[in-house]
Amino acid sequence: MTAAQSPPATRRSIPWNQHPIASPMLGIAGILLFLAVWELASRTGIVNPRFLPPASEVLLQLGRNFVSADFWTAVGQTMTSWAIGLAIAAAAATVIGFIIGGSDFLRRATHTTIEFLRPIPSVALIPLAVLLFGVSIESSLLLIVYASFWQILIQVLYGTADVDNVAMDTARSYGLGWWARVRHVVWPTTLPYLITGLRLGAAVALVLAITAELVIGTEGLGKQIELNRSGGSVVPMYALVIATGLIGVVINIGMRFVERRALRWHSSVRGDVAV
């Protein structure tokens, strides 16, 4: 009785957009819709096409970029300062975070100082960077390191604060020394937080890398955008803006992937953080 009668009734009860492939399809439809509105706005002249060229032209230019050596050189320059800056910030934040987080005294003593330095917008350092380094990559690095350092440091401090007291006491009672405790107890607990910090820091580092190029004029995508703008090459400028967005998406997806992988083999913390 059930098998014969229920299917027609129930198929109706499941909304079509809950089908497993509905979400990605609708997402693509959403992007197409967005592009169509953009195209129309430009073609019909609602927005002056000199300032907002049609989406199709921008995408075509983006496609041409993908086979242009100059484009990839600029991407390489931007990503080099991104990677070096992020690496310096991560190394510094991890070491300093472990030192501060390992001592109750240091944690308390540095609290106000950190809370004061952290909200200082890194772009305030732009004039200083120009004075010190001019348009060289060090200017970019100063901004990137300053901005992403705090993101990672804060997460590492959260992580070291999260270390289980019982686990720490156990380790001590078995005679583990300071280094062994850090390696076997503090490090595994802190790692997921560190990776979250890296993910946040990576996004901020990209913003600052592009900003430095845009405002200071260090080599990279940001500088190319500014050159195109001042030269009135509107279509290439938009294509580059889209490209920076795509790089941002790739970094976000990549870091989330790394985060999930790292948390997976860390089964001890999976329950807490994976959600």
Partner 1 sequence: MSLAKRLAYFVGLPILLLVLWWALTIGNTNFFVPKPLQLFEIFGDVWFGDRLVTDVLPSIGRLLAGVAISIVLGIVLGIVIGSVRLLRQLTEPSLEFLRAIPPPVLIPVLALIIGINDQMKVAVIIFGCIWPVLLNTIEGVRAVDPVLNDTCSVYGISGGARMRYLVLRSASPQIMTGIRQSLSIGLILMVISEMFGSSSGLGYAIVQFQRTFSVPEMWTGIILLGLLGVALSLVFQFTEKRVLRWYHGLREVDR
Partner 2 sequence: MSNTTTKTNRGPKTGVIEVPEDVALSVQHLKKVYQTDGGEIEAVRDLHFDIRAGEFVCLVGPSGAGKTTLLKCIAGLLAPTSGLVALDGRLVTGPPKGLAVVFQEYGRSLFPWMNIRDNVELPLKNQGVAKDERDRLVDDALEAVGLAHVPKSYPWQLSGGMQQRVAIARAIAYQPKVLLMDEPFAAVDAQTRADLEDLVRRVWKRLGITVLFVTHDIDESVYLGERVVVLSSSPTVVQEDLTIDLPADRDQLETRSMARFTELRGHVYEQIQRAKAEAPNRTSSTPTV
Give the Cα separation of 29 and 27 in Å (integer): 5
**Can you tell me which of 140, 222, 223, 263 binds partner 1, judged by CB under 8 A?**
222
Q: Are 216 and 129 in contact (CB under 8 A)?
A: yes
Minimum Å gap between C-beta 164 and partner 2 is 24
How many CB atoms sit inside 10 A of residue 174's CB? 9
237 touches partner 1 by CB under 8 A = yes
**Residues touching partner 1, count (CB under 8 A):** 64
The listed partner (partner 1, partner 2, none) that binds 6, CB under 5 to 8 Å by sort, is partner 2
For partner 2, the binding residues (CB under 8 A) are 1-2, 6-7, 9-10, 13-14, 20
| SS3 label, residue 136 | coil
Per-position x/- string for 29-68, each x denoting binding to partner 1 as judged by CB under 8 A, each - no binding: xxx-xx------------xx--xx----------------
Tokens of 127: 């004039």
249 touches partner 1 by CB under 8 A = yes
Give the Cα separation of 192 and 139 in Å (integer): 31
The listed partner (partner 1, partner 2, none) that binds 222, CB under 5 to 8 Å by sort, is partner 1
Beta strands in 17-176 (DSSP E): none
Segment near partner 1 (CB under 8 A), from 63-71, 152-160, 246-254, 264-272?
Answer: 246-254
Q: Are 270 and 188 in contact (CB under 8 A)?
A: no
Minimum Å gap between C-beta 13 and partner 1 is 15
**Dihedral sign of CA atoms 33, 34, 35, 36 in order:** positive
Angle at the Cα of 43 from the Cα atoms of 40 and 49, rounded to 5 degrees: 115
CA nearest neighbour of 188 among 172, 167, 205: 167
27 touches partner 1 by CB under 8 A = yes
Interface residue list for partner 1 (CB under 8 A): 15, 17-18, 22-23, 26-31, 33-34, 47-48, 51-52, 108-113, 115-128, 130-132, 203, 206-207, 210-211, 214-215, 222, 225-226, 229, 234, 237-238, 240-241, 244-249, 251-252
